[in-house]
Amino acid sequence: MLKDGETQRKKRLGILISGGGTNLQAVMDAVASGRIPAEISLVLSDRRDAYGLTRAGQSSIPTCYINKKDFADSREFNRAILDRLTQSQVDYVVLAGYLSILSGELVDHYPNRIVNIHPSLIPSFCGTGCYGIHVHQAVLDYGAKVTGATVHFVDEGTDTGPIILQKPVMVLPEDDARSLAARVLEAEHEILPEAVELLVRGKLRVMGRKVVIENE
């Protein structure tokens, strides 16, 4: 219970990226507008040249680059990430185009508090090796008529956690991988901030593989 004169601190987000950070920007905009009642306390990248670090820096958000090559194995690499997240008092972790695999230790530290955006309708076109432009080319090669974007909780598997939100995107006859990727990215920009808002507001309840969105 808060004492007189005390105010409850905002929930803190740690956002992990590997690239340009357009999904990061979508979350940043939602935080800045007050839609997501939280603050971004850290943007962390596994790539030094990720433009998302510049986006965050321009908004005075703390950033951090951690190089895999500085560590003996992925476990030590993930331990360094976990240490940095805990130092920043992060409550929720958002993977916004982050391409490294999280360790079980890190996932266990944030049970049902890590979300990821994936550029397909899971369980299709996901799993090991399915990232970035490879996903959209696989959709086209298979001849799928519908693809989309998925936000899901992160577990120890690859794209296997319970699904929070999905948004379909039609595959057009004239699409190539890049044009399809651009339209799927628009869907990602819609559902990632929505999912983070629901998470921070305590509206998500996980029941086995199902995620229930509570209206009250």
Catalytic residue, chosen from 109, 118, 134, 136, is: 118
Alpha carbons 97 and 22: distance in angstroms, whole number: 9
Long-range contacts (CB closer than 8 Å, 24 or more residues apart) made by 123-130: 123/159, 126/150, 126/158, 126/159, 127/158, 127/159, 127/160, 128/158, 130/159
CB 199 within 8 A of CB 27: no
List all residues 6 or more positions away from 12 whose beta carbon is below 8 Å from its beta carbon: 38, 39, 40, 41, 42, 88, 89, 90, 91, 92
Residue 189 appears among annotated catalytic residues: no
3-state SS, residue 183: helix
Alpha carbons 205 and 62: distance in angstroms, whole number: 30
Rounded to the nearest 5 degrees, what angle is found at the Cα of 51, between the Cα atoms of 37 and 123?
65
Q: Known catalytic residues?
A: 118
